[in-house]
Chain A
């Protein structure tokens, strides 16, 4: 079996039906109220799979549930009896976004780094992750800047690219290969045209972000303590400690442990997601809170997600999914934070450019060549990048390099520190 295959869109339902028979199939679904959420598909018929909108919540809660019973306890006389509740699930996620998949890879490292968290790993080890590359990033997305999308170079089990009437499927980790091999009759080999088109989609997607920020500059400013107190003060005033940013974030993994009594003699120990913007998160038993003021908590949050994560895991934990951007009550989100930190330092010149402008600026093509290529593109129907390559004016590598230089970003979302381990 090659590393890349083609799945005709007409065969998607059939493929998913096979999966759903054997495993729990989870995919983004648009419900009757118009909200897109990850749902367990009990039937693949009669559902409206939504591969366009970003689900409200990341898939995190499937691995770290909102209410997770770790064990039950029962008092018998003076003794306690405990009964562990270990999860046993076999799941396939279809239609994950690259950012969300990255989030899971990040959690993988956290939950087995020093201590193997069996609850997490039990859920994770029997889970297959299939992402769909974002050919049209949404307005709040900035995964390109976070180097976690819109397409992934590795880390996925399968990666789908939408080519109109068919999916270009890249096979990643062994669990993905198993699925394709098991139902190989749904898939066919890709042609050179499929590969070109896929490349074209990736290229278009990479250059179509409204939101571009410079993680490295912001992170190093934090590491050098260059962010002025006034900014923390303002963010602290804007934050309302709703916890929303942590709850929706694909990588926020902090949790709280509480015991819930069920009756006088029985109870359960729960793990619940926690949020560092809450006062109770750091308050000590005696009542003292080292981060009593909101600005201290906000500061800690951004330090943790950017600087500390970079220090420990070689990359920020933010995957640029844009959820906090969309939901924050006071505009205290990762995108705006990075933007402001960069702007308040030396002037950042990052602006969204078209691919043509980027190549022009890089000196790879002249304006005449660009205009001629645009002209030819009208009749050929090819994407600009492909047209320029076909015309022999630039190579793929040159385009990729120019994109990364011009946008000030690492080349193509890839391995970073996490997957490499």
Chain B
């Protein structure tokens, strides 16, 4: 048995673990003890992360659709067909009819190559990935305020905070290893404020727990800031020296009516005052948030309000003090960094910037398209010029993860050509004309970037199964089929190109990642040590910008016909669309099937029994699943995790989006419940 150190393939905590290899098979994992986040432990997903690798359902050879069925074929034929179809569509409809979905589960190198393939080979900026559905508001909102959309601080700094405000993040379930640092902070006497519509486990340790109604975050955030303003807890020096637009902001905030808070959000002024005093009266305070803040039509507004709060009290630009959007996927930070986004190249360099484009054109030896591309949502809802006809999806499963699935699946069906690269036959792959078998994380080299901007190695432990190939090789081969030669010998060589073209990754080289637990970007050159916390001395954008945000109600609210709020989310033991986690014995045993959380009082009124079937109906569709009683959810609200293909929560959700970030409002819609 030998061990290979790698980075966990599930969430963005970025724990390092050893894969234990015997006779070409992975038989177990050992967490790294020295790794600053893993600290000798993993969550249950991490402990089980090796199990899906050898599952019998792994795709091991390319598939091509013949007479309606997907049948085995050679790489040559599969890639030849993809190349031909893409070329045809390009010729017949123009490059804007093509698109790619990159993957937050793939490595930085793979994301970089796929966005390069989209732009340099397909000649379109229609490239996006699932960050659209999770933290696109953070990228925009925090960039507007601070100049950078990532976590301002490293994870371990949480343990040194005096106050932690957690909102829209079920941290113990979704980022258990980050929650561990919160417990460390509490043990040292830190205070905890939890704001969440569901009474999440962390709320039991909170000094103040506030339970707002769904989609009312701007209200309580504005209320909290108004109290801070009224009671004089402002950090005047910070505001004067480091920020701009404060006076306009202050005037608008003065006009904000505190009475609204109780009426709209349900939070009392007394609670809010306690929270405001706790947050504002210390030096080192950290805010952490996640999907509960971002997955709204007001996602960007919510994020910007959080940024306002941090700036108002000077709680940013220092160690142990800042704003932390907790990213979900193992490499969702990296996929954004690599420019798998319609408007930016790697390192958030704008496609609209002439100099940037020239730099990339010179390196890639081709001309680049100028017009920003379509987002992941728009790719499936376009018409006319904006209609996507040929799509390449790498390691994503929109047929389960996108909102309003009935419409989404019809759009997939309507595509002229769909190619999917994945490790399992996902719901999305079933729509494909060509399926390309990809290697899992255990079978390839590369890097991923965790939520704290820590760039770490993924290391190959075993050979790719069957005829499967790492995604980077698939992209290289496909690109060559389309007469644009990509002949990288290894991911390390790809990273050299990334470092050359991407200032924030300028000092990232594989030899530097061998020991020492990775590098934090920005890492500007070979001698640069990396940056654990951002905005030291001044914000990335120069001065932090205040912007007053008015409240905007969710797109769909309960009414007589659909009287319940539905909010969707995740559970600790499953991962997104379940293609990996539901094939792991310990995880599928924990949660074998879908469920809807409902308050027992509501259930009683409806005559629904615990652990018995109930139908949930929205304007878009209906699903049937078991009820699960819990007081942790308030009355008139239900909660469904979206992992289960047998009862997909996203049949119910709608696709109204945040106007700026284009994130759908997964966290709020209206449903009714029916007895089965």
Task: Give the B-binding residues of A (Cβ under 8 A).
Answer: 31-37, 39-40, 56-57, 61, 65-67, 237-238, 240-244, 247-248, 256, 258, 260-263, 272, 274, 278-280, 283, 287, 323, 326-331
A247 touches B56 (CB 8 A): no
User: How far apart are the CA atoms of A247 and B29 in the complex, in Å?
Assistant: 10
Query: Please, how many angstroms separate the alpha-carbon atoms of A33 and B173 in the complex?
Result: 29
Interface residues on B, range: 35 or more
Are A35 and B172 closer than 8 Å at their CB atoms? no
| Contacting pair A329 B28 (CB below 8 A) | no
A-facing residues in B6-50 (Cβ within 8 Å): 16, 18, 20, 27-35, 39-44, 46-47
Q: Which residues of B have CB within 8 Å of A65?
A: 27-28
Number of A-B contacts (CB under 8 A): 114
Question: CB within 8 Å of A: which of B263-291?
Answer: none
With A35-B32, A61-B28: A240-B172 Cβ-Cβ less than 8 Å? yes
| B39 contacts across to A, CB distance below 8 A | 326-327
- Closest Cβ of chain A: how far from B68's Cβ, in Å? 22
Instruction: Determine which of A67, A244, A287 lies in contact with B41 in the assembled complex, contact meaning CB atoms within 8 Å.
Output: A244
Q: Is the CB of B586 within 8 A of A327?
A: no
Asked whether A240 and B586 contact (CB < 8 A) given A32-B515, A248-B40, A328-B41, the answer is no
Q: What is the chain B residue whose CB lies nearest that of A54?
A: B33
Point out which of B32, B35, B54, B177 has the most chain A C-beta atoms below 10 A from its C-beta: B32
**B586 pairs with A37, CB closer than 8 A:** no
What are 20 A-B contacts defined by CB distance under 8 Å?
Answer: A33-B32, A37-B30, A56-B33, A67-B28, A240-B176, A240-B201, A242-B43, A242-B46, A242-B176, A243-B44, A244-B41, A248-B41, A256-B586, A258-B585, A260-B54, A262-B56, A280-B590, A326-B40, A328-B41, A330-B172
B241 within 8 A of A: no
CB distance from A88 to the nearest CB of B (A): 15
Residues of B with C-beta under 8 A to A57: 30
Q: Cβ of A329 and Cβ of B176 under 8 Å apart?
A: yes
- A32 and B513 CA atoms in complex are apart in Å by 12
Q: Is A279's CB under 8 angstroms from B41's CB?
A: no
Q: Which of A35, A242, A248 contacts B44 (CB 8 A)?
A: A242
B526 contacts chain A at the CB level, 8 A cutoff: no
Interface with A: B121-129, B145-153, B179-187, B343-351, which one? B179-187
Chain B neighbourhood of A34, CB < 8 A: 34, 515
How many Å from the CB of B600 to the closest CB on chain A?
14
Secondary structure class of chain B's binding surface, majority of residues: mixed
Q: 8 more A-B contacts (CB under 8 A) besides A248-B40, A278-B590?
A: A34-B515, A37-B30, A66-B28, A237-B204, A244-B41, A247-B47, A263-B56, A326-B39
A330, B41: Cβ atoms under 8 Å?
no
Which residues in B have their C-beta under 8 angstroms from that of A240? 43, 172-173, 176, 179, 201, 572
Nearest opposing residue in chain A for B16, CB measure: A33
How far apart are B154's CB and chain A's nearest CB, in angstroms? 18
Closest to B202 in A: A237
The CA of A328 and the CA of B42, in the complex, are separated in Å by 9
Minimum CB distance partner of B593 in chain A: A287
Contact with A along B455-482 (1 / 0, CB 8 A): 0000000000000000000000000000
Contact A56 B585 (CB under 8 A): no
CB-CB under 8 A for A241 and B3, given A37-B30, A57-B30: no
Contact yes or no, A33 B176, CB < 8 A: no
Any A CB within 8 A of the CB of B365: no
Whether the Cβ atoms of B56 and A280 lie closer than 8 Å is no
Q: Nearest residue in B to A61 (C-beta to C-beta)?
A: B28
Distance in angstroms between the alpha carbons of A247 and B18 in the assembled complex: 15
Min distance, Cβ B58 to any Cβ of chain A, angstroms: 11
Nearest to A56 among chain B residues (CB) is: B33
- A40 lies within 8 A of B41 (CB): no
Kindly provide the distance from the CB of A40 to the nearest chain B CB, expressed in whole angstroms. Answer: 6
Tell me the smallest distance from the CB of B166 to a CB of chain A, in Å.
15
Residues in A neighbouring B590, C-beta threshold 8 A: 241, 278-280
Residue in B47, B515, B611 with the greatest tally of chain A CB atoms within 10 Å: B47
Query: B47 touches which one: A31, A243, A261, A328 (CB < 8 A)?
Result: A243
- A67 and B3 CA atoms in complex are apart in Å by 15
Q: How far is the CB of B442 from chain A (nearest CB, A)?
A: 14
Contacts of A242 in B (CB 8 A): 41-44, 46-47, 176
Given A37-B3, A66-B27, A256-B586, residue A244 in contact with residue B515 (CB < 8 A): no
Tell me if B589 is interfacial: C-beta within 8 Å of chain A: yes
Nearest 3 CB-CB pairings of A with B:
A66-B28, A280-B589, A327-B41
B32–A241 CB distance below 8 A = no
A244 to B585, CA, bound (A): 16
B residues near A274, Cβ cutoff 8 Å: 586
Assembled-state Cα–Cα distance A370/B5 (Å)? 52
| CB pair A329 B18 closer than 8 Å | no
Nearest-CB residue, chain A, relative to B203:
A237
A278 touching B586, Cβ below 8 Å:
yes
B41-A329 in contact (CB<8A): yes
Which one, B27, B46, B572, B573, contacts A67 given CB within 8 A? B27
| Minimum CB distance partner of A266 in chain B | B56
Contacts of B47 in A (CB 8 A): 242-244, 247
Q: Which residue of B lies closest to A57 (CB)?
A: B30
Q: Is B1 an interface residue (CB 8 A)?
A: yes
What is the CA–CA distance of A328 and B40 in the complex, to the nearest angstrom?
Answer: 9
- What residues on B are CB-neighbors of A263 within 8 Å? 56
**How far apart sit A329 and B28, CA to CA, in the bound complex (Å)?**
21
With a cutoff of 8 Å between Cβ atoms, the chain B residues found around residue A243 in the complex are: 44, 47, 586
Is B585 in contact with A329, judged by CB distance below 8 angstroms? no
Give, as a whole number of angstroms, the nearest-CB distance from A229 to chain B.
15
CB distance from B632 to the nearest CB of A (A): 12
In the complex, the answer to whether B183 meets A280 with C-beta atoms within 8 Å is no
What residues of chain A lie closer than 8 Å to B93, measured between beta carbons? none
In the complex, the chain A residue whose C-beta lies closest to that of B55 is A260
Contacts of A330 in B (CB 8 A): 172, 179-180, 183
Residue B205, interface by CB 8 Å: yes
CB distance from A281 to the nearest CB of B (A): 8
Residue of B nearest to A67 (CB): B27
Chain A min CB distance to B25 (Å): 8
CB-defined interface of B377-390 with A at 8 Å, one 1/0 digit per residue? 00000000000000
A331→B41 CA distance, assembly (Å): 12
Q: Which residue of A lies closest to B5 (CB)?
A: A33
- Provide the bound-state CA to CA distance between A329 and B29, in Å: 18
Q: In the complex, what residue of chain A is closest to B29 when comparing beta carbons?
A: A66
- How far is B664's CA from A268's CA once the two chains are assembled, in angstroms? 44
Contact of A261 among B56, B176, B589 (CB under 8 A): B56
Closest chain B CB from A100 CB (angstroms): 15
| CB neighbours of B204 from chain A (8 A) | 237
| In the complex, residue of chain A having the shortest beta-carbon distance to the beta carbon of B177 | A329
- Please, which residue of chain A has its CB at the minimum distance from the CB of B588? A280
Contacts of A260 in B (CB 8 A): 54, 56
